[in-house]
Amino acid sequence: MPETSHLDLPARIGPYRVMSRLGEGGMGVVYLGADESGHKVAIKVIRREYAADAQYRARFESEVSAAQRVRPFCTAPVLDADPKADPPYLVTEYVSGSSLAAAVDRQGPLRGADLEALAVGMASALTAIHDAGVVHRDLKPANVLLSPYGPRVIDFGIARADDMTRLTATGGLVGTPAFMAPEQLNGTPATAASDVFAWGATVAYAARGTTCFTGNSIPAMIHQIVSGEPDLRGLQGTVLDVVRAALAKDPAKRPSAQRLLERLVSSSSTQEQPAAPSTAPPFPPPQPVLPPPAVGTDQSAALVERQYREAAEAGDTAAMYNLGVLLSWRGQTAEADYWYRRASAAQQSYGYQPTYHSAYTTSPAAQPPRYNHLALYAIVLGLVGIITCGLPSIPAIITGHMAWRQIGRTQERGLGLAATGLALGYLMVAFWLLVAFGAALPDEDPSAQLPTPAAT
């Protein structure tokens, strides 16, 4: 975040000493400041024309409260805010580093591990933001800072004015539409799915060095976003597949931020099927000691593991579970089991159910877990095997065992279905074994059973 000197600086904003001016955006001015202990912070002061709107102030206060609940996964955490000040201001952690937009403009597109680390870091940030019930609304390269410790997403959870990211009364557009989802351009309020679309457009920008939706004018660009296909040259492999899914025109067809993260991290895993949690004594001490080593050699997995571990050790239940999933993918089942049990015990103690898979809604309420698809296959194959007395019983047993293992790891529903599919499969196998055993018995000679006639 570059610093620029400015002669007309306020001496203090609240309890913070102002040091310099960092920049200016549509909603306000950002200053570099310092708290009483000398730690640097970024202070965003809302413009007075928005602060004069009582409805905007109320929305600002509500969204700042939600933003303070966001876990610090690749974000600049909200440290303080005063919605009642004149003007209102928001204080976040100061991130040293240039924006993604400036870095690409200066050094060109990102490639290889750098691009993967960016995609994973942004997906991790969106997961934390959405789990707190917050929608970013304005994710773009200028709001992604490349710090020495990885990418950081900034400027989330700040209420925008009603006409922001929409056409104004004079027909002008506030900001560039290149990273807006089709539904936003049609006037629909932004949702978590809109953030996922912006994630895909931003990753594509980092890989290409330019936007994936182009046009000679703003109307032409909007037409491409709404009706055209993105230009994804520069992307490849799993990142290409995930970005293409994120840029789906229909919001309902886009994956959640959590799913983005899972697909990106699991793509580099060498362990396809993680082992189910064992029944070891509860809460053994974890194997690694602080500071922990990275679970993988690639930069992106190490970044996510560090962020999840910090939050898990601070007591965050969702981070405990997600860290367990990541460690299972890496084959470190002993420590993964430890975090699974920690997460389960925390849920029982506090009655808290974290939203591991965010729905496309601004409500933080958790959704009921879905049914495991392998369990559904197991019960269907088991029933077909019973009806047809055929070979589907063998796949029923295989999918039933796979479902049993997955349910123990993911906490999805369907354990009863998996058990029933297994039982039906084994029942049919036992039936055919009995038939085969009966067919293998030697036939008896009927004449040997006739009594010998008595001699006359």
Beta strands in 64-198 (DSSP E): 78-82, 89-93, 144-147, 150-153
Q: Report the pLDDT value the prediction gives residue 302, as an integer from 0 to 100.
A: 63
Tracing tokens 């980092």 back to the chain, one arrives at 206
**What φ, ψ does residue 34 adopt, rounded to 5°?**
-145, 140
For the ranges 89-98, 121-130, 190-199, the maximum mean pLDDT occurs at 190-199
Percent of all residues in the chain with a pLDDT value above 70, rounded to a whole number: 72
Calculate the dihedral angle through the C-alpha atoms of 336, 338, 344, 348, rounding to the nearest 10 degrees: -170
Active-site entry in 114, 131, 138, 337: 138
403 neighbors 374 (Cβ within 8 angstroms): yes
Running DSSP on this structure, what letter comes out for residue 63?
H
Write down the pLDDT at residue 291. Answer: 37
Tell me what pLDDT residue 452 has. 60
What average pLDDT does the structure give for the chain? 75
Known binding residues are: 44
The helix (H) or strand (E) run that includes residue 42 is strand 40-46
Residue 348's pLDDT is what? Answer: 59
Compute the chain's Rg from CA coordinates: 29
Assess whether 138 carries a catalytic annotation: yes
pLDDT digits (tens, 9 = 90+) for 41-99: 999 898 888 888 888 888 788 778 777 778 776 788 888 888 888 888 989 888 888 89
Residue 217: per-residue pLDDT:
77
Tokens of 350: 């506090």
Contact yes or no for 391/351 (Cβ under 8 A): no
Whole-number pLDDT of residue 268: 46
Point out the least confidently predicted range of 59-63, 138-142, 144-148, 273-277: 273-277
Q: Per the annotation, where are the binding residues for ATP? A: 44
Q: 91 to each of 54, 83, 297, 302, how far by Cα in Å?
A: 21, 11, 35, 28
pLDDT reported for residue 281: 40
pTM more than 0.85: no
- Range 176-199 average pLDDT: 89
Domains of the chain as residue ranges with CATH: 12-265 (1.10.510.10), 269-350 (no CATH), 373-437 (no CATH)
The whole-number average pLDDT for the span 273-300 is: 40
* pLDDT above 70 (res 186): yes
379, pLDDT greater than 90? no
**pLDDT in the model for residue 285:** 42
Q: How far apart are alpha carbons 107 and 200 in whole angstroms?
A: 21
**Among residues 274, 429, 372, which one has the least CA distance to residue 380?**
372
Which helix (H) or strand (E) segment holds residue 45: the answer is: strand 40-46
Question: Does residue 176 register a pLDDT over 80?
Answer: no
125 pLDDT above the threshold of 80: yes
Classify the phi-psi angles of 201: left when phi > 0, otherwise alpha if psi is within -120 to 50, otherwise beta. Answer: alpha
Instruction: Report which of 189, 96, 89, 72 is spatially closest to residue 138, judged by C-alpha positions.
Output: 189
Query: Which DSSP helix (H) or strand (E) runs through 23?
Result: strand 16-24
pLDDT recorded at residue 454 = 58
Q: Does residue 350 surpass a pLDDT of 60?
A: no
